[in-house]
A and B are shown apart, each in its own frame.
Chain A
C-alpha cells in the first residue's frame, strides 16, 4: 500500500522554526519527487517547493527563499520540510505529495500536518 505518513501537529512561537516529516512506504522512495503544499485555515492551496529524494536537489518558491529547507533521509524513506522565522501567516496545514518524473502531477498526498504559530 503506497502511503505518505506525516508527523504530528506542531505549535511554534513567532520567530521559531518547525520541521515536519513525511515518511514514504510501499513504493521506491527515490523514484518520485516530494512536494510540500500548505493551506491556511479556510484558505486555498499554496505550493512551497520540492525535493528530489535521489539527488537531494531542491526547488523552492521565491516567497519562501531563505526561510525554507527541504531535505531527505534515504535510509528511512523520509522527506523533511523546515520553515524558520515563523509568523502568524505560517499557521496552516502542511501537506507532502509525490510526483513521478517525467510527468507533472501529484498523485499521492499525505494527510497533512497542522502547524500553529502562537505566542
Chain B
C-alpha cells in the first residue's frame, strides 16, 4: 500500500499567520494517465471531511484562495496564507492514484 506521511502532526498557529502542512508518499503519485491524484481534506470535530484541493493544486468550489496546494511526484504541501479561526480542525492528504486509496495520519491545526 502507498504510505502517506504528514508533518507536522500538530500545528499551533497564530491567527493571521501562515501555515503549511507537508505530505510525502512512499511512491510516486503520477498516474498512468499522467495526472497526479493528490487531494487535501479538512475535517472539523463531529463533521465529515470536506474537499479543499484536488490534483495537487486545484481548489475545489468555494475554497478561499488563501488556501493552496503544491508539489509533485512524492512531495506535496498545503499552504494557508493567513490562518482564520474557521481553519481549525484536522487536515488529511489523500492519494487516489494507487489501490487501495490511502490517507495521511492527519495534521491537527489549532490556534495559539
| Residues of A that sit less than 8 Å from B by CB | 35, 37, 44-47, 59, 61-63, 95, 97, 99, 103-107, 109-112
| Residues of B that sit less than 8 Å from A by CB | 31, 35, 37, 39, 41, 47-51, 54-55, 60, 92, 94, 96-97, 99-106
Give every chain B residue within 8 A of A109 (Cβ-Cβ): 48-50
Q: Give complex CA distance A41, B50 in Å.
A: 18
20 further A-B contacts with Cβ under 8 Å, apart from A63-B100, A106-B39, are: A37-B49, A44-B92, A44-B103, A44-B104, A45-B41, A45-B92, A45-B94, A47-B100, A47-B103, A61-B100, A95-B48, A97-B48, A103-B54, A103-B55, A104-B37, A104-B97, A105-B96, A107-B51, A111-B47, A111-B48
Counting chain A CB atoms within 10 Å of each CB, the highest count among B39, B54, B101 belongs to B101
Query: Across the interface, do B103 and A46 meet the contact criterion of CB distance under 8 Å?
Result: yes
Counting chain A CB atoms within 10 Å of each CB, the highest count among B60, B97, B100, B102 belongs to B100
Query: Across the interface, do A107 and B49 meet the contact criterion of CB distance under 8 Å?
Result: no
Report if A62-B100 is in contact (Cβ < 8 Å); known contacts: A104-B37, A105-B37, A107-B60: yes
Query: Across the interface, do B104 and A104 meet the contact criterion of CB distance under 8 Å?
Result: no
Give every chain B residue within 8 A of A62 (Cβ-Cβ): 100
Q: Give complex CA distance A61, B99 in Å.
A: 7
Query: Across the interface, do B105 and A104 meet the contact criterion of CB distance under 8 Å?
Result: no
Query: Across the interface, do B96 and A104 meet the contact criterion of CB distance under 8 Å?
Result: yes
Q: Shortest distance in angstroms between B72's beta carbon and chain A's nearest beta carbon?
A: 16
